[in-house]
Chain A
Amino acid sequence: MDWQFFLEVLIGGLLAGVMYSLVALGFVLIYKASGVFNFAQGGMVFFAALTFVSLVERGVNFWLAMVITLAVMVVLGVLIERIVLRPLVNQPQITLFMATIGLTFLIEGLAQGIWDAQVHGLDLGIPDVPVKVGAINISQFDLFASATAGILVLALAVFFQKTRIGRALRAVADDHQAAMSVGIPLNHIWAIVWAVAGFVGLVAGLLWGSRTGVQFALTFTALKALPVLILGGFTSVPGAIVGGLIIGASEKLAEVYIGSSIGLNIGTGIENWFPYMLALLFLLIRPEGLFGEKRIERV
């Protein structure tokens, strides 16, 4: 076995996994705070990236475009809370889940209706060239992406631990009724969570968009994030990160090693289902994911 090659694949996979984590983070935030499994996260990633890139293409300054897009995502989050979630309070989770699938269609239609359905290139100014670290080649862009993800997670951690709103968010995540009874406005909190998820979606959209081009396929990032989610646990921010790393690394390793060792050319295209199978096997051992809350069931 060629260790250098193995390490290269492993690190490449880990860094790719960070990109999955970024999308998964958006899911976790919303699920934690409101118990909604927000399938529209992929749509939000797409919407954010498309809005940003269209603004930049129309000659808006990079940072100004960032601020405008962020504002749009916050408005979107507030609107979703107002129009979709509030009337659906106390409905079973599956109903809320279906509503977010409806929302996915709505957001995708809106994004393409307002802007267009073309593939846009997005250049963040970071060259996607390999850097040599020792004897191993690592993509500079991947490094940048994981640094961004790291900063984002740190910022979120500080936000959750130190700020007043963050504490309120955690209280809501812990127990809706108890949070309401000490005077935390549930509706505001939900709007904030959706806005934060929109922001995370924007970051994910920019990184994914500059990697693959801003196009409709960005919505499928949600499908990449789902196995990460169930592996890490729906309710855990560290779970999303660790899950992403595991999925990313094992996916790349499986593609390279399983694919090439069986001569049948079987390895190609397994990235669609391999993460799911891996997560499934994991779940058989820990049904609530790596860091998910342990369910205690009583009759």
Chain B
Amino acid sequence: MIYREAGQFKDGYAADEQIFPIRQDRYGIVFILVLAFVGVPLIANDYWFSAILIPFLILSLAALGLNILTGYTGQLSLGTAGFMAVGAFAAFNFMLRVPGMPLLAAFILAGLTAAAVGVVFGLPSLRIKGFYLAVATLAAQFFIEWVLVKFPWFSNYNPSGVISAQPMEILGYAFDTPARKYMLTLCIVAVLALAAKNMARCETGRVWMAVRDMDIAAEVIGIPILKTKLLAFAVSSFYCGVAGALWAFAYLGAVEPAAFDLGRSFQILFMIILGGVGTVLGSFLGAAFIVLLPIFLNVFAHILLPGVSSSLLSNLELIVFGSFIIFFLIVEPHGLARLWQIGKEKLRLWPFPH
């Protein structure tokens, strides 16, 4: 009843090919965008911006990047955080070493640098598949971390290897308060998410999915495997690189290579698995879930078990987090995006079951 497309006729190719062919989806997305751009800035406070919303958006972007590689192209990667680190350090160095570098150009160049690194580490994917590839991408993760720590040039000879992101400014407008940083992050994430959504539904994405489903069959029908896989690595790393740059510039301000360790890679992998592999929506749902879960756990634990020691609490958090993931995988292996899908089907019939 609520979600019913009956009576929505398409009277042209343009109408047939739009991103959200169903009117309710369009209203929904406009509502979410208005909420994100206008509603949230009106009600949220600085804590919300800097502790929840900005990391949520940035991690969504990274999850989106991993989803392109793992969800759409089927190449399991455990090196996401490494590519984020490349982006963060590249953006810092571009801003530092090129006088008068515009911020957005630095972000784009950071993404391109990460993409180049991604292509290099993507090359083995032509011969190696499955878990062998996953472990091989760990090489990227550890190697990048080591290079950034080992060669002080990357952190401008900071003794502790920390980079302090330059103040963000576009055309003289400074993005210095959490609210402004949030707006900048939101704009970048919205643009890139739109691009991802479009890539996924045009030839690029379909070729990716063909390779994911069976790469030999894809090759037989004339899809160039080399180009397709490397493009997926490049685009994915670009997203991760921009996410990493934002992580340094918009979220943390000062960041060291250890902020992009293996744990971060796993965190992002969790996001796409829990959110839904191979969906754009899933990247956001998963990121929201993973960002919010520890906060909820913390709050609940303090309410339920007042006065519990912090070490026990952190162990409890580990236990609950681990159980949650297992529980989720058992109950809904296709992730939150699938739940939303089911919900939409239900809404379509509700309240009349036929």
Given contacts A110-B319, A276-B136, A288-B132, contact A269 B270 (CB under 8 A): no
What is the number of contacts between chain A and chain B, taking CB atoms within 8 Å? 138
Tell yes or no: A190 within 8 A of B by CB: no
Within 8 A of A (CB), among B108-140: 124, 127-132, 134-136, 138-139
Tell yes or no: A46 within 8 A of B by CB: no
Are B318 and A299 in contact, with the CB atoms below 8 A?
Answer: no
- Mask, A259-299, CB within 8 Å of B = 1, is 00000001001101100110110011001110000010111
Tell yes or no: A47 within 8 A of B by CB: no
Q: How far, in Å, is B198 (CB) from chain A's closest CB?
A: 26
Are A289 and B146 in contact, with the CB atoms below 8 A?
Answer: no
Within the assembled complex, what's the spacing in Å between the Cα atoms of A223 and B141? 12
Measured between beta carbons, the chain A residues less than 8 angstroms from B317 are 109
Q: How far, in Å, is B318 (CB) from chain A's closest CB?
A: 3
Given contacts A94-B273, A101-B270, A101-B325, contact A106 B319 (CB under 8 A): yes
Within 8 A of A (CB), among B34-87: 70, 76
Q: How far, in Å, is B263 (CB) from chain A's closest CB?
A: 10
Given contacts A102-B329, A109-B315, contact A93 B139 (CB under 8 A): no
Given contacts A272-B145, A287-B128, A299-B214, contact A226 B318 (CB under 8 A): no
Are A103 and B136 in contact, with the CB atoms below 8 A?
Answer: no
Q: Which residue of A lies closest to B318 (CB)?
A: A109
Q: Which residue of A lies closest to B311 (CB)?
A: A117
Q: Which among A60-68, A137-145, A197-205, A227-235 touches the partner chain?
A: A227-235
Q: How far, in Å, is B280 (CB) from chain A's closest CB?
A: 19
Are A103 and B322 in contact, with the CB atoms below 8 A?
Answer: yes
Measured between beta carbons, the chain A residues less than 8 angstroms from B321 are 102, 105, 109
Q: Which among A83-91, A154-162, A167-175, A176-184 touches the partner chain?
A: A83-91
Given contacts A84-B326, A105-B322, A113-B319, contact A93 B138 (CB under 8 A): no
Given contacts A226-B138, A283-B136, contact A269 B323 (CB under 8 A): no
Tell yes or no: B266 within 8 A of A by CB: yes
Partner of B139, one of A98, A266, A276: A276
Q: Is the interface of B mostly helix, strand, loop or mixed?
A: helix
Are B127 and A283 in contact, with the CB atoms below 8 A?
Answer: yes
Measured between beta carbons, the chain B residues less than 8 angstroms from A266 are 150
Are A227 and B135 in contact, with the CB atoms below 8 A?
Answer: yes
Are B135 and A229 in contact, with the CB atoms below 8 A?
Answer: yes
Are B143 and A276 in contact, with the CB atoms below 8 A?
Answer: yes
Tell yes or no: A51 within 8 A of B by CB: no
Within 8 A of B (CB), among A102-156: 102-110, 112-113, 117
Partner of B217, one of A279, A280, A299: A299
Given contacts A88-B330, A102-B323, contact A269 B135 (CB under 8 A): no
Within 8 A of B (CB), among A182-227: 223, 226-227
Measured between beta carbons, the chain B residues less than 8 angstroms from A295 are 129
Q: Which residue of A lies closest to B325 (CB)?
A: A102
Tell yes or no: B220 within 8 A of A by CB: yes
Measured between beta carbons, the chain B residues less than 8 angstroms from A92 are 333
Partner of A109, one of B129, B139, B216, B322: B322
- Mask, A237-261, CB within 8 Å of B = 1, is 0000000000000000000000000
Given contacts A105-B318, A105-B319, A113-B319, contact A279 B326 (CB under 8 A): no
Are A276 and B142 in contact, with the CB atoms below 8 A?
Answer: yes
Partner of B270, one of A93, A98, A298: A98
Are A269 and B325 in contact, with the CB atoms below 8 A?
Answer: no
Tell yes or no: B304 within 8 A of A by CB: no
Tell yes or no: A20 within 8 A of B by CB: no
Given contacts A102-B326, A113-B315, A299-B216, contact A269 B150 (CB under 8 A): yes
Chain A positions within 8 Å of B, measured between CB atoms, are 37, 83-84, 87-88, 91-95, 97-99, 101-110, 112-113, 117, 223, 226-227, 229-230, 234, 266, 269-270, 272-273, 276-277, 279-280, 283-284, 287-289, 295, 297-299
Can you name 7 A-B residue pairings with CB atoms under 8 Å? A93-B131, A99-B326, A105-B318, A230-B131, A273-B143, A280-B136, A283-B136
